Each structure stands twice: as C-alpha cells, then as structure tokens.
Structure 1
Amino acid sequence: MNIITKLLVALVLCLVTSNMNAQDSIQLEQKQMKIEQLNKTKETITQEEKGALKKEVEAINSQLEKGEITSSEAEVLKQEAAQKRALNIENRLAIIDNQIALLERNGNLEGTYTPGNRFILEIGKNEDSDEFDRGSFYVGEREDYRLKPRKYDRRTTSDLVFAIGFNNAIIEGESLNDSPYKLGGSGFVELGWAWKTRVFKNSNAMRLKYGFSFQWNKLDIKGNRILSENNEGQVVLEEFPLNVRKSKFRTTNIVFPVHFEFGPSRKIEREDYFRYSTFHKFKFGFGGYGGFNISSIQKVKYYDENDKKKKDKYKDYNTNNFVYGLSAYMGFGNIGIYAKYDLSPIFNDQVIDQNNISLGLRFDLD
C-alpha cells in the first residue's frame, strides 16, 4: 500500500511540475501577444472617442439649427464635449499603459484575471482571491491569467480527494469489540479525483460531487491466526502452526463515488463573471460508491522452527470482484469527518458475512 500511495502521489507531483514547465515555456509568447493586443486597443480607444465626439457635435449642430440653443451656447457645449473626450482618451490610454507596464515587469496583470484553467498546486491561498491565507491548501484546476475570455459561470470544478483513518469489519452476530481484527492496527487510505457541479442554476445550496478513487482497506488480524481458504472456497480464520508476529490482510479497490453535497456558500459577483465559493464554509455530503476489487493480499510475519524471522505473502483470495457501499462526510472548509460502509461482503460465499467499515478524516482540496 505504501509503495502504491507513493507512486500515485509522485504521479500527481509530476503532473503539476510538467504543467508548470509548460506554462513557463509559453509565458513569454503570451506576454508579447497581450502587449500587442493592448497596443491595438489604444488605437481603438482613440477612434471610439473621436467617433463619439463627432456624434455629439452633430447633435449640438442639430439643436442650433432648430433654434433650441444659441450659437454661443453651442460653442460652449462643443468645447465641453471636446474636453471630455480628450480626458477620456488620456485616462483610458493611461490604464492601458499601466497594464503594459505590469506585463513587462511581472509577466501578468497582477490583481486582475484573464482566466483559463490549469492544474496547479497552491499552499495558503484563498480560492477566490490573491490574498495569502495560512489556513488553506489547494490542489486542482484554477482560473489563471490567460488570453481567453473569462467564463461567466463555472458550474463545475474539480479537486483532489484524500482520506485516511481507521478500518474494520462488521461481522454478522458480533460487535466491533468482538472483532477478530485490531481496532488500532487496521486502517484505510483513499486517494482520488472529484468533480463538483452545482445542481441548480441560481443557487449553490446543493452540489453533485462525483469522480473516481483508489481505496486501500487493511485489516490487522488478532492473535496467532491468519486468513485461509478452505476446500469449499470459503475464507476462514484459522490458527497458524508457528508463532505469528504480524498478520495483515489488504484489499485494493477502484471505485466511483457519487455524493450530494449541501452547505452555505458565498456569491462573488463581478462585471464579467460570478462565482459561488464554499471556502471556509460548513458542508456535508452523503451518497455511495461502486467499483471493482483489483487486488487482495495477506502478509504474514512469523518465527520459524529455528526462531528466525520469516515473511510470506498470499494473494488472490475469494473476494468480491464488485464492491459497493454508502459513504458520508461532514466538515468545514477543506477538512471533514468521513465514513464509508461496504454493503458488499468482503468475501464470496461466506457462512457469516463480513462488511468493511471505515472512519477517518477526509481532505477535499478544493
């Protein structure tokens, strides 16, 4: 499990690094293109203001011809219109010049957004502003400085999901206290990717969260016992003939969770876009998952007849190929309490069913 987890984390970091390198390679080209666009905008501004002045003068002349104003009044109005348009040109060109200066100095327009989407890793940044926030952590897709126009409404976002905690099995007719698996030594890890879509057009009260995850469920067996498959294909716990130091059973699943998420949000409205933010907000979700078991393995560490340490691995137990269950989470911001329960038994054709159950912390890095 540790090797697989490290490989997946390394893969995520490689994706982040390669994306950042690609962004750096095109940054200069994008900057030059943006500067060219801004210079063309300066020409357009002058033409727009001159055209507006021409229309205002024509309107003043029309009033003069109709006798609505005197020639002296018309001259004053023309001077005021010319002065207003000249100031408009001066101020609007100054804004463009400042944007060009920002681009030349920083490579982007700091404090403004011209977005697109990219995969990034950020620590300590609010998802809705450029202000540093010590309490946040983000991995995912984020609107960034780009040449593409900002999408007015983003109803779907995506993020990394990571969960870790305690694991055990619910056995028919037994309580957790009587479980043959250690409460402290048994654990689970989940790592996946999720998309979140706002359900209603004008409200963010309910969101649909869906994606895929890898789940590793580990059971630490009590006593001097191991799991063994008998002649009927049933997996049972039996005494090991030698002195067991540690006996652990692990399943690896790939599942596709779907949750309905609820909770308050903050609406951010700007001239060219609006967003709903759940940053630092309470949220809870419930739903389920279905998927496939891709591996089952038991590791047994023991002492042989000569009191030497030995280790054996046993694979391909009679586990259910298809797994499904219920799950729920509740939290604040990016961290919450997470619980999941497999409705499908761990093993096929068992006299007594065993269903995996997990409780821990969930990090939705959105």
Structure 2
Amino acid sequence: MENRYFESIKEEISLLGFGCMRLPRICEEKQEIDEKRALEMFDYAHEHGVNYFDTAYPYHEGLSEPFVGKALKRYPRESFHLASKMPPWMLKSESDVERIFEDQLKRCQVDYFDFYLVHNICREHLEIVEKFHVYEFLKKKKEEGKIRRLGFSFHDKPALLRQVTDRYEWDFAQIQLNYLDWELQDAKTQYEILKSHQIPVVVMEPVRGGSLAGLSEPAAEVLKKENPELSTASWAVRFAASLPGVMTVLSGMSDLAQVQDNVKTMTDFKPLTQREREVLTEALDIYRSSGTIPCTGCRYCMDCPAGVDIPKVFAIYNQYRIDHNENSFRSTYGYLEEEKQAQHCVRCGKCMEHCPQHIQIPDKMEEIRDFAAGGN
C-alpha cells in the first residue's frame, strides 16, 4: 500500500482511505449495516495496509460510528487512524457541541480521534460554527489530546474556502475532488487554495458516489481500449491520488470487490501519465454529453418531508440517461414504492438546504415526473 507522509502530520497515512458512508446494508430500503460483509471488507483493507478510516455522526442514520468502533476495536490502536466529524446543522445550542463529541468517542470506543473535522462547512454552517464557538471547543479538545489533528470538510465556493483557511488554523482539509468536478464544481481551484496554504488534502467522492465507475458504454469503452486491465473506477481514483499534496483518497466502498480493486490500484501506485490524462478527458467529454444529474447518493437531502426517496429516484433516472433504455427505466421505477416517486415532491425546498452538489432538486423531480408520465 502506498503511504503519504507530511511533515505537518508526522504520520504515514495510507493513500487509500476507507470511507464509511456507503457500507453494505442488510436491505436497500434501510441504513442497517450488513456487519458480516462489512467486517470482511475492513479486515481485507486493514491486512493490505489501509490505516485511515473515515466516519461521521449522521452516516447510516447514526449507525456508522458504532459499527466502525466495533470493527476497529479488533485491531491494535496504533495500527489505524480514525476520523469523524462534528455536524453543525445538528447543533441547537453550545452544549450540543460537547454532548455530540463525547457521544462520538463512546460510539467509536476510542479515547481520542486521530483526525477530526468540522463537517460540511458552507456559509450557513459556518454561521453556526461561529455562533456556538465550535472551533474554539475543538481546539481545546486538541490541547487535551482528544483530537490529534483538526480539519474540516467543505462543500461551497472557493471564496468561502479562502475565508475559512485565512481565518482559522487547520491541520488538513477534505474536499470533493474528481475528474468531473475538477472544472464543474471548482475542485481545481479549491485544491490550489489548500495547496497554497500547505494544507494536506483528504479527497472525498473520487468516484462521485460511484457514477464515475458506471460511465456510459461509449465513455467506458475509451478507457477500456487504452488499458483493458483497469477498472473504470481505478481511473478516477488514480486521478485524485496523482495530485501532489493529497494525503489520502477516501472511497466509500460497499462490497469486497471494490475494496480489492482499490487496494490493487493503490499498491505500487502509478500516477496518471500525460497520455492517460488525455484519454480521461476524451471519456469525460462523452460522459458529460449523457446529461446525468450530479447526485452522489450521499443522502444529506433525506428524509424528504413528502416521502420522496430522492437519491433512489435520481439513480434510476441517471441509469436511463446513461443507457437510454426506457423499458428498463419504467420497470425499475415501477418497482419503487409509489409514495417514494417524484410526483410527490411538493417543492418545499428543504432538500436543497442540505445538498452539497447544489442540485435544483424540485426542478429535477418535475422533469422526472413528466418523463415517467410519458413525456420526454
């Protein structure tokens, strides 16, 4: 396993990080984790040198942290680095900050976090962070040894990122970075801002919630033609991992095959060549022409007050945009419970307050509703 070392971090960090937001589930409709399969994945990753595990308070509707704690408890404490996050949108008072933090330590069965983040900093959340003195609290916990390194995850515009990096002192930062968002969502600019501050980068969504592993057939064919031995996902992971200043690349893996593929990619790691970058650009141009909705399936938009399963609706529609199989769309969409379908969207806008991708969700629901009803 390739490791990265930064003087400011003073630890060897595996280039592949295990993201614990998309662990295997017992059934698709619920967030309950299939522990047997997930433990097998953890063991394979740990045995092959993965030492960075990333969870958060709301992942799997609160079930991720307890599972991660249970899984990691089986390994020597010095053999892994655990990261979790403080969710600003769940804070109603200053006392909630300490309550949640202490609860996280108990959930994860640890005395300290190796890496700890302010979760999903955006303008609205930054106001909450400042109102309840979150940064000051976390700095104190760092002084007490309950946090080893303090950082933040970010889903907003470069101007706010500059403000956050200028105003506060950080050990690392986590941003959404992949070859689609490099230009589409200013990932390149965000990366350059962090690099200019010499802040190590943790990459999230390198495969964009799996969408860059499921490219349209013409786009995937371009990559396969260049190298039949490589998975489409590995191209995306290598794009992120090839960048100087990247400490680890998180992959939200949901089955053992994904772990094995990522471990293979990060063992004897080979950065993208200039030729491969050109091939990737060609595949990207083809993929972008498919018109998919840029949903990563993070589920921050859920639960919908009207009962719509937003990520599921988008996933079904995106598959149609990729393969253009209308019969398959209607069959799959028909299996989704009627009360969870797009036509029940009431345009309340609550989902948009939490969407890291800034998708105009009500407009897209209307588009899908009309298509499902027979439009085009």
Tell whether the structures are fold-level matches, with TM greater than 0.5.
Answer: no
- Between Structure 1 and Structure 2, which shows a larger proportion of strand residues? 1
Name the structure with the higher helix share.
2
**Which protein has greater RCO, CA pairs closer than 8 Å, 6+ apart?**
2
Larger radius of gyration: 1
TM tier, shorter chain?
under 0.3
TM-score under structure 1 length normalisation: 0.23
